[in-house]
Structure 1
């Protein structure tokens, strides 16, 4: 037990600690937003890789609440130390597991490096012992580095443009006050681009398919999805036309390779999600300003990660059309990429300055959203009273549970 008085440790809008009660409350709010499953029969067996944050977390919570999902979630989260709380994803996973248990869901969580062959072996063995075969693999990892299990080489991803340097407006917070800054990033070299593809492309996704298929764990009609993003031409130089975009293109190429390997017994899709405030997206320069403008423009048309995860689950379970584009990708970003929306965002982007930042963008909303990623700024949470920071990782059930 470790009762601590916790204060937010942040620089600008990025945080280095988390609040366990706030993180749990975030998951509770997501859970209550989702309609409960009406059917009594067990849902599909799923493996969610990257289940503690962003779209992976949203897909996990929706799957458990609305579809009685069974299976396994994998995330790599830091435990509590003497100096710091556990990672926000640790606390979110603990609460997700608690809600799943209350709902009677046969779903467990593994805290491990999903890039590792050892973890692939352990996870597939657990799935085989408990369920036999799986119906769905959701792949949603955003990581700064990856060790190639075949070579032992450690690859580090970078967020840089390709071909030319990138200069743009960016959002900064000085003493909590939102301001406009100027960003200059040098273009990546070939080695940096290739390393980013190794980390954030489709190589590991393909390895997971190989691991599952080699043990005969793919059910008839198996489906797998990997989360991607296209975004606006405003952010294209740093995203879709940059090193991350090269990785996302590799992810999409991998989907086609997986489909060839599955030979009709299953199908792989990349899912183009809409913009969101996640721990991964906040690390991308200029995305904060773009997202703040987009939220102001879309207002009540804004789609949360839960909204989009609900749409994805409905499509994967046949309750809605897949909504494929001409490249075979599932599109969840129509609300963002609507031409009128993009025109309005562009108009604000081009004219906005520090003097009208508060009235032209939703910077305060963005700051609060980032805080909530770490359990801060959550309505109804008592941040004055010391909180219990020692929260155990959910125990793995026995094979016959």
Structure 2
């Protein structure tokens, strides 16, 4: 057990430590805003990337509304002498407590989901504890991935394709919001390929194939992978850049899975989510400024990750009809891409300095949301007091309710 006085270590959008109580509180507050359970289906879910962003929202919404059982996978760092555990570590412990409170048999595994060893560990657990999987939710985000066949380490890059990209960006380098300009050179073919290998559908396909080989797919099995399209304003660095190439690879993989691996009655979709403040999105140039302006326009109409996850679960479980586009992608982003909303964002984007000056609350909101991810800046928490940084990763009891061991 370790009580420490913790102060945030932050430079711009980079936050390198977390607050244990604050990180746990973000989970509790998200949970409290999710409407209570509406059905008694209790499907078995394998959730890859459960500890942050849309993965966390999908976990909590599934637990609270649909009583999901299953396995969550994340790759989080434990506490060291110099640093707290990652925020995702503390969020997982909080999520496990909530799962236990509602009596859900949900197990959390801390492993490299890209590795063959990690896959084997998780699939052994699934087979032993649950038999088959009803839903595989793929929500992994990482800067690199090792190909399990060749051993090649692929590193993703955030770059445009074909020509340089120059655009305004939100800048918090000196602690206050301002607009700066960023310029990115175009990616090489090798960089584009590497990004596809990290953020595309290669690993998703390996997971589905591994489940199928072990006869772990339920008859009505459905798998989804999260993707994003976004605005034309950010398209050169996102949808038309290396990330967009990876997302197209992901979307093509859904078709390949439906055509080759999955049987009749089984389905694979990509899910186009709307904008959100996540650890990944804060690292993409221009996305922070765009998201700040989007929130300026929408205010309370900006849909949280939990609200979007609620929409997703309702569609997957048949509570609501599937909303798909001509490519067969499930769409959750209509609120963001509404033409009237985009017109207002475009007006702010046309003169970003004036847009930020006239509506600084959007930038302040973005930074507060980012700090929340690491447990900082939440009302009601005394950050001047030492906090318990030693929190165990939750392990399952034989009865199926998660507990923690020191």
Question: In the alignment, which residue of structure 2 is the partner of 1:139?
Answer: 138
Separation in 1 of the partners of 2:174 and 2:97? 37
Query: How far off its partner does 1:247 sit?
Result: 0.3
Q: Are residues 1:62 and 2:61 paired?
A: yes
1:42 Cα offset (Å): 5.4
Q: Which residue does 1:270 correspond to in 2?
A: 270
Distance 1:264 1:89 in 2: 37
Structure 1 SS opposite 2:119: helix
- Aligned counterparts of 2:347 and 2:38: Cα–Cα separation in 1: 45
CA displacement 1:166-204 (0-9 Å, x = unmatched) = 100011114321011110111000000000000000000
On the 8 A contact 2:58/2:310 being kept in 1, the answer is yes
**1:179–1:354: 8 Å Cα contact kept in structure 2?**
no
Counterpart in 1 of 2:310? 310
Q: What pairs with 1:382-393 in structure 2 (closer than 5 Å)?
A: 382-393=382-393
Q: Quote the Cα distance in structure 2 between the aligned partners of 1:238 and 1:185.
A: 9
Deviations along 1:59-95, one digit per CA (max 9) or x if unpaired, are 0000111110000000001111111111110000010
Taking the aligned partners of 1:301 and 1:383, their CA distance within structure 2 comes to 31
| 2:367 counterpart residue number | 367
Q: CA deviation at 1:373?
A: 0.7
Find the aligned partners of 1:130 and 1:53 in 2 and give their Cα distance.
25
CA RMSD of superposed structures (Å): 1.3
TM-score by length of 2: 0.96
Given that 1:9 and 1:16 are in contact with CA atoms closer than 8 Å, whether structure 2 keeps it comes out as yes
- 1:171 corresponds to: 170
- C-alpha separation between the residues in 2 aligned to 1:128 and 1:22? 35
2:46 is equivalent to residue 47 of structure 1: yes
- 2:113 is matched with 114
Residue deviations 1:339-381 (CA, integer Å, cap 9, x gap):
1111110111012216853526611111100000100111211
Which residue of structure 1 lines up, in the alignment, with residue 350 of structure 2?
Answer: 350
Per mean C-alpha deviation after superposition, the further-off stretch among 327-336 and 168-177 is 168-177
User: 2:28 maps to which residue?
Assistant: 28
State the SS of the aligned residue for 1:362.
helix
Given that 1:14 and 1:370 are in contact with CA atoms closer than 8 Å, whether structure 2 keeps it comes out as no
When residues 391 and 360 of structure 1 are mapped into structure 2, their CA distance, relative to the original with a 3 A threshold, is closer
Distance 1:25 1:356 in 2: 30
1:208 aligns with 2:207: yes
Q: Say whether the 8 Å CA contact 1:129–1:399 is kept in structure 2.
A: no
Q: Secondary structure at the match of 1:395?
A: strand
Q: Structure 1 residues 254 and 244 mapped into 2: Cα distance closer, same or farther (>3 Å)?
A: same
2:100 is the counterpart of 1:104: no
Aligned-partner SS, 1:379: coil
Q: 1:266 to 1:392 in 2, by over 3 A?
A: same
1:314-362 deviations in Å (ceiling 9; x for gaps): 0000000110001000000000000111111011101221685352661
* Partner SS for 1:258: helix
Tell me, which stretches of 5 or more residues in structure 1 are unaligned? none
* Deviating 4+ runs (over 3 angstroms): 396-401
Partner of 2:404: none
Point out where structure 2 has 5 or more consecutive residues left out of the alignment.
Answer: 402-406
Cα deviation code 1:76-116 (max 9, x no counterpart): 01111111111110000010001101111100100000001
For residues 209-259 of structure 1, what are the alpha-carbon distances to aligned partners after superposition, in whole Å with 9 as ceiling and x for unaligned?
011000101111100000000000000000000000000000000000000
Alpha-carbon separation, structure 2, partners of 1:94 and 1:383: 20
Partner of 1:14: 14
Which SS does the other structure have where 2:8 is aligned? coil
**Structure 1-normalised TM-score?**
0.97
Sort the Cα spacing of 1:100 and 1:399 in 2 relative to 1 into closer, same or farther, 3 A: closer
